[in-house]
Chain A
Amino acid sequence: MLPVRFSRRPLFLLASLAMLVGCGDADRGGVAAGETGGTLIIAMPAEPTTLLPPVSDANQDAAVINAIFDRLAEIGPTLETFGDRGFRPRLASSWAWANDSLSIAFTIDSLARWHDGQPVEAADVRYTFRVYTSDSLAVNNRAMLGNIDSVSVRDARTAVFWFKRRTPQQFQEATYFMYILPSHLLASIPMKDLPASPFARKPVGSGRFRFANWEAGQRVEIVADTANPRGRAMLDRVIWSIAADFGAATVKLFAGEADFFEYIRPGDLGQIARTPSLRLVDNRALQYLFLGFNFRDPRNPSQPHPLFADAAVRRALHMAVDRAGIVRNVFDSLGAVALGPAPRALIPDTTAFTQLPHDPAHARALLDSAGWRDSDGDGIREREGRRLSFEMLVPSSSAGRRSLTVLLQEQFRAVGAEAKPLVLEVNTFSTRSDTGQFDTYMGGWSVVPGLGGTRQTWTSKGSGNVGRYRNPAFDALVDSALTSFAPAASHRYWARAFQQIVDDAPAIWLVDQRAPVALHKRFIVPPLRPDGWYADLADWRVDPAQRIDRDRIGLAAASR
């Protein structure tokens, strides 16, 4: 899981490579014909940092990497992560489980080729695992690979993953978190030098698009790989047009210089509706926002927090908030009330656990019973000389979160609590939240399919659990849910785990975000996958009847 911040994508990692040796077909100068052809220009409010998948952690890298590289198997549109039934072959044409389920043998598609023409082999899979688990690199997804003991090569086309223990998520661990890298191009480079290798900016992959060009600060271009065994991409080329910020990116979109923009804000909806060439495409992004409480005293972490160690206070503040009202106010149709520490699209049964109600009267009674009373008549409660007053950390980069804090402030005041928003530059926000220097913080996570990330973000030992919420019962329920091989039993455990954390209220679950994208009307696209709109980019196409000039260039090589 990762926090919702534009430039970061959590447990995703991608790959990279070094020299581009073009496939001959790309230079043939074919023109758009039939269903294929066309140019998609994407406005992007930041430049990619790297196209080497293991060390990429930025959202703006993910789409490019996903188009150039392949995983062994690809998750399906239902995002089912239980076993392998929700996955489709990609680089691996098939796989076989060992009788004890502690190993999976993947057979590489015999037709699979790197963009330089070399065959994809099992050794590439083994090498990729070594890179992703290397101590010489800061790999974001490494924590997700902890259950994989090793990868061995049975023969040139068979790679075997060996696991430490059986879990329902084994297959996802082996496939979802790694893009396969070409060992024949990278193995000779010391691991620590990979991020600095030419490959990181000129990658060679095996996907249906191949890398074409990266002009620093200006654009990244990929083109259809016409020799790909899974079929060429429908579009001829995709260009990411790099903008300095969100404002500059929207200028490109509305000036007609771009066809697509991912980061739509409520304020942009009206202008998109008024632009005849654009339409909104629904995108169920796996993101949620919350106000997290700190269970430890920020001045003395060995001590419990003077306010929020008390569950009654947390529950009272939760009940003071009209979540439906503030979500409607801030996000309009782009959000729904969050139900817990996961987007509802991933919760097996959203009716199996109950929410804390919006009940200010009950909230006041809870605070009264906890000893918090307004004895001096200033509207703010006190107890033993301490006011019920706290800071809310919020990153300046998020307009939505800033608006939420203003509304929360008013609703807390109505029950006698004083909340002081502290808007911080994102580096400062990140530093203070990581180190526990806060009372409450306006957090956000963008999660990957499955609920495995819950362990990382909300259990006692989770590195992302910066509020230090601890409840052994919740930890046990999450463990049981993640290790149960019977789907029905797993769902029951999840329901109990969600009920437990809702009752404990380590955070106020605020918004389950939708993230529709703006797209030029001439494009025909399959439903966008919630974990990444770009997952099926190779199947996007242009309506032949609506082609514009830039769709007619064909695959002629640019004279650079």
Chain B
Amino acid sequence: MSSRLLARTWQCALVILSAATLAFLCLHLAPGDPASALGESVPPEVKARMRALYGFDEPLGTQYLRWLGALLRGDLGWSIQQQRPVSAVLRDALPNTLMLIVPAFVLSVLGGLWIGAWQGARAGSRRDRVTSTLLLVIYSIPEFWLAMALLLVFARTWHLLPATGVTSELYAYLSPGERLLDRLRHLVLPVASVASIGIATFARYQRASMQETVGLPFVRTAEASGLGRRRVLRNAWRASLLPVITLGGILLPSYLAGVVFVEQIFNWPGLGYALLRAISARDYAVVAACVVLGSTLTALGAWLAEWLRERADPRLRVAPGLSAGHTAAQVAERIA
């Protein structure tokens, strides 16, 4: 591991701890606690007993240290709202979120890179301008709005696709083939909500990068040497990937954030769904755990992007101060 990656690893750990601590403190500073979240119907003496049982009446510092100690031992705590270990809550929620994010991310990357490369190779043409306008519109739409529009049109109005949930209520009674179809039908709307905006985002960056790369001297040289247009563009596309790889790492957290609202709208029991429920119930342990998990995934994304950049550009491994903007002479000088 390069010193650059090592430093990034320590940064990630610090970011995760800071984010979790902030989440813990912010939620404790908000009015109410899990006992008050039980609502008016529960007598005050029952709430008081609950605070005593779970230690919510202790000083904030004591609660924080207890939580931190447990976290360092790998114990994520107990969900007051769901009356089960937080690890069980996450175990149920994380696969559902990944089921949404992974296909959405793959679709975003594949679709975005293809459209962006296609545009970049034709920058300035009428088709490029029309496509850019369309992508800009999609890019500007908030995910939750798009999700609600899709739900309204395809589920409530036309009844073409299921409105909510991961599977139908009678999923357990379906044949294997029907189950697969049922899952896919439930995936369409939420994945489309997340992926549409992802495709637009990747395409915009890929287009800009491709357009810039196509103008570089090595492309002109390759064309002048008689290489076919398709092969030249393929090489240009590979050279234009570096900023898009970086973007992938940066965008991963935004997928996690965006999916929170999409999960809520489509009743998709993933991390975002669990997080929103936990916030309203002042379920401290679940909120903190969701933040730890989210920031871990975010940090991992950044770390992975860094690693991929090093793989894609040897100059970053050999001489960390260098980048694609340095000339060959500068590279040679640094290496010497």
Contacts and interface: CB of A to CB of B under 8 A. Distances in A.
Interface of A: 2-5, 7-10, 39, 41, 47, 49-50, 52, 55, 57, 135-140, 142-143, 192, 195-196, 200-201, 213, 216-219, 239, 241-245, 248, 251-252, 254-257, 425-434, 443-446, 456, 463-464, 466, 550, 553, 556, 558-560
Interface stretch (B75-83, B195-203, B215-223, B326-334): B75-83
B173 to A, nearest CB: 5
Nearest to A56: B83
Interface in B10-58: 30-33, 36-47, 49-50, 53
A427 B83 contact: no
A8 B40 contact: yes
B282 A427 contact: yes
B150 interface: no
Contacts of A136: 53
B40 A217 contact: no
B42 A427 contact: no
B141 to A, nearest CB: 20
Contacts of A241: 165, 169
B43 A5 contact: no
Interface in B143-172: 151, 155-156, 159, 162-170, 172
A433 B45 contact: no
Contacts of B45: 143, 463
Interface of B: 30-33, 36-47, 49-50, 53, 78, 81-85, 88-89, 92-93, 96, 151, 155-156, 159, 162-170, 172-173, 263-265, 267, 269, 273-274, 276-277, 280, 282
B41 A254 contact: no
Contacts of B40: 2-5, 8, 429-430, 433, 443-445
Contact of A196 (B42, B83, B162, B267): B83
A360 B221 CA distance: 92
A556 B173 contact: yes
B169 A257 contact: yes
Contacts of A430: 32, 36-40
Contacts of B276: 244
Contacts of B30: 427
**Which of A8, A256, A443 has the most CB atoms of chain B within a 10 A radius of its CB?**
A8
B163 A217 contact: no
Contact of A143 (B37, B43, B155): B43
Given A434-B44, A553-B173, 20 more contacts: A2-B40, A4-B41, A49-B82, A49-B83, A143-B43, A143-B45, A201-B84, A216-B93, A217-B93, A217-B273, A219-B169, A244-B273, A248-B267, A256-B159, A257-B168, A426-B37, A427-B30, A427-B33, A431-B31, A463-B45
B291 to A, nearest CB: 19
A251 to B, nearest CB: 5
B282 A55 contact: no
Nearest to A6: B39
B169 A41 contact: yes
A519 B286 CA distance: 35
29 contacts: A2-B41, A5-B40, A8-B39, A39-B170, A49-B81, A55-B83, A136-B53, A138-B46, A140-B41, A140-B46, A195-B83, A196-B85, A213-B172, A216-B82, A216-B89, A248-B164, A248-B264, A257-B162, A257-B164, A257-B168, A425-B31, A427-B33, A427-B36, A430-B37, A432-B31, A434-B36, A553-B170, A553-B173, A556-B173
Contacts of A426: 37, 39, 280
A218 B46 contact: no
B177 to A, nearest CB: 13
Nearest to A46: B277
B32 A431 contact: yes
Contacts of B50: 138
A341 to B, nearest CB: 14
Given A50-B83, A558-B172, A5 B41 contact: yes
Nearest to B152: A251
B264 A244 contact: yes
B170 A252 contact: no
Contacts of A242: 267, 269
Given A49-B82, A138-B50, A456-B43, A251 B164 contact: yes
A463 B32 contact: no
A560 B37 contact: no
Contacts of A464: 43-44
Contact of B269 (A41, A216, A425): A216
Given A39-B170, A244-B264, A57 B41 contact: yes
Contacts of B166: 218
Nearest to B269: A217
Contact of A57 (B42, B163, B267, B274): B42
B163 A255 contact: yes
A243 B84 contact: no
**Which of B40, B43, B163, B168 has the most CB atoms of chain A within a 10 A radius of its CB?**
B40
A219 B81 CA distance: 17
Contact of A217 (B78, B84, B92, B265): B92
Nearest to A10: B41
Q: Give the 4 A-B CB pairs with smallest separation, nearest first.
A: A217-B269, A427-B32, A2-B41, A3-B40
Contacts of B267: 242-244, 248, 252
B172 A560 contact: yes
Contact of A47 (B46, B82, B162): B82
A216 B92 contact: yes
Contacts of A466: 44
A560 B85 CA distance: 23
Contacts of B92: 216-217
Contacts of A2: 40-42
Contacts of A200: 83-84
Contacts of A213: 172
A242 B269 CA distance: 9
Contacts of B78: 196
Nearest to B282: A427
A257 B46 contact: no
A251 B93 CA distance: 22
B156 A251 contact: yes
A217 B155 contact: no
A7 B263 CA distance: 21
A196 B53 CA distance: 14
Contacts of A432: 31
Contacts of A47: 82, 277
A7 B167 CA distance: 25
B39 to A, nearest CB: 4
Contact of A139 (B38, B46, B84): B46
A508 B85 CA distance: 44
B111 to A, nearest CB: 28
**Which of A218, A431, A550 has the most CB atoms of chain B within a 10 A radius of its CB?**
A218
Given A8-B38, A427-B32, A138 B53 contact: yes
A433 to B, nearest CB: 7
B163 A431 contact: no
Contacts of A243: 164, 267
B173 A428 contact: no
A426 B78 CA distance: 22
Nearest to A434: B44
Nearest to B50: A138
A434 B47 CA distance: 10
Contacts of A553: 170, 173
